[in-house]
Amino acid sequence: MFEQSAARSRNPLSDWMIRGSVSLIFILAGADKFGPNWVDFFRQVGIGQWFRYFTGIVEVGGAILVLIPRAVSAGLALLGCTMATAALILIFVLHRPWDSVFSLGLFVALTVLFLSRRSS
């Protein structure tokens, strides 16, 4: 019984490295939403530029939550929902399903990470 729980415990260093990597990716991606690179993309989406700022705030906020030990699950869930929404927008609004591969890949990776943390 005790051997099983000890085998399932995570290495703290690898946990921080994974969380730090996820956080860095989304801080950079979220901060980029505030620059001019994404203006045309969000214009094509058709909701308005406020959605670009909202997306940037959600990505940076989720990345910060991933760094807080008690809020990791909330951060991963928030970022996962963001990536799922990005994929859905690319597929159904912009009709560019091949462009959604990266978003879907991040969604799957975040979901696996979320579920692995919940099961241990």
Predicted confidence (pLDDT) per residue in 2-50, tens digit: 434 444 456 888 899 999 999 999 999 999 999 999 999 999 999 999 9
pLDDT in tens, 47-82: 999 999 999 999 999 999 999 999 999 999 999 999
pLDDT in tens, 36-45: 999 999 999 9
Interatomic CA distance for residues 18 and 36, integer angstroms: 29
Instruction: Give the pLDDT confidence score for residue 6 in this predicted structure.
Output: 40
